[in-house]
Amino acid sequence: MLLVLVLIGLNMRPLLTSIGPLLPQLRAASGMSFTVASLLTALPMVAMGALALAGGWINQNFRERYSVAAGLLMIVNGALLREMAPHSVMLLSSALLGGIGIGIIQVVMPTVIKRQFQRRMPQVMGLWSAALMGGGGLGAALTPWIAGHSEVWHSSLAWWALPAIIALIGWWPQSQTSASAIQQNTGSAVKITRHPRAWALGLYFGVINGGYGSLIAWLPPYYMQLGNSAQFSGTLLALMTVGQTAGALLLPMLARHEDRRLLLLIALALQMVGFLGFILWPTHLSVLWAIACGVGLGGAFPLCLVLALDHAGHPVISGKLVAFMQGIGFIIAGISPYLSGILRSLSGDFLVDWMFHAVCVFGLMLLTLRFAPSRYPQEWDSTK
């Protein structure tokens, strides 16, 4: 099951990260503005958020086996749509379809991990997140290389259907023997939306992933604007995701205590270093800034999920909380690259956007201090 989780995780981000290195060609071929092009990243993230908000309903009405299989099939079809000529409508449709598939899978996986790996939950969540980030790195690094060796450059985007097919082949027999298919109604009456802590977690998760959304959409174009090649810019994004993979693996392994604040502050500090580097010294030590941002973003993602799961002992309640946090969070994160595209169009460069995210990281550090275990809500059922 661990191997299958890794295979599935590898398919969660190439749909998003494969766009950035080819953005100049896509814009030239389709006539998209920066603002419309930002929807290629924003739409999947908003779809992921909308599906997460429906997570409770999905878990209660559909078997995990079929939910994950359907999500992988949507990713396959979303990638294959990109084989066609790069028209804006077709590209946006592929982004939306793939985002729905990713959203379904991301709703199911935290509950699967908590149930099957309860004693090693932070470590397995880190492994899942590392696979997710690693897949993003492969999407950024391999897509321009495949495009350079293809007769039709945009067909390189369709190749990302292949790993989703492999993951589906692995998941189908393995899931047949997995426990629990449809969640029971115990805890389903809890009204997560009425508790301020659920909204605080959603905002926290959203702003962190908003930084990720802006970077995967605009980091390659930023460095191409500075005079670098598409291959170098895509490689820089890939190195950022290598840092994410390392952060997703290492920081959760250090989570020995229930209080996650110190590790979260370390992750946010690394993000701050990266954004300040992009602002002040973009052409010097650019690899260091990318890796620092990556480690911070990669470590924060699984720690946020674990933080939400810590808030409730019952799997159904904690699953609803994680789904709600991801729902609000991914909608916020989906707005981020769109906002970045607007800022780029208005200012002529990306520095204003990097400054905006640096300020957001500082705000997240202050919010982190509120997540003391002694202040976790004790009775979620009081919000009925």
pLDDT digits (tens, 9 = 90+) for 213-262: 888 778 888 888 888 887 788 788 888 888 888 888 888 888 777 788 89
Cβ neighbourhood burial of 145 (10 Å; 0-12, 13-18, 19+):
middle
Per the CB < 8 A criterion, the answer to whether 240 and 223 are in contact is no
For the record, the structure tokens of 113 come out as 């991990």
Task: Please state, as a whole number, how many other Cβ atoms lie within 10 Å of the Cβ of residue 152.
Answer: 11
Per the CB < 8 A criterion, the answer to whether 65 and 174 are in contact is no
pLDDT given at position 314 = 66
What confidence tens digit (pLDDT) does each residue in 336-366 have?
877 877 887 777 777 888 898 999 999 999 9
CATH fold of 2-184+194-374 = Growth Hormone; Chain: A; (1.20.1250)
CA distances from 183 to 60, 157, 314 (A): 5, 36, 12
Q: Which of 112, 91, 123, 266 lies closest to 175 in space, CA to CA?
A: 112
Q: Which of 367, 351, 29 lies closest to 202 in space, CA to CA?
A: 367
DSSP annotation of 254 reads T
- Mean pLDDT value across residues 264-272: 95
Average pLDDT of the residues of the chain? 83
Domain boundaries in the chain? 2-184+194-374
What confidence tens digit (pLDDT) does each residue in 274-304 have?
999 999 998 888 899 999 999 999 899 889 8
Does the global pTM surpass 0.85? no
pLDDT tier, 109 (very low <50, low <70, confident <90, very high otherwise): confident
**DSSP 3-state percent helix, strand, coil across the chain (nearest 5):** 80, 0, 20
DSSP annotation of 10 reads T
pLDDT at 154 over 90: no
pLDDT at 383 over 60: no
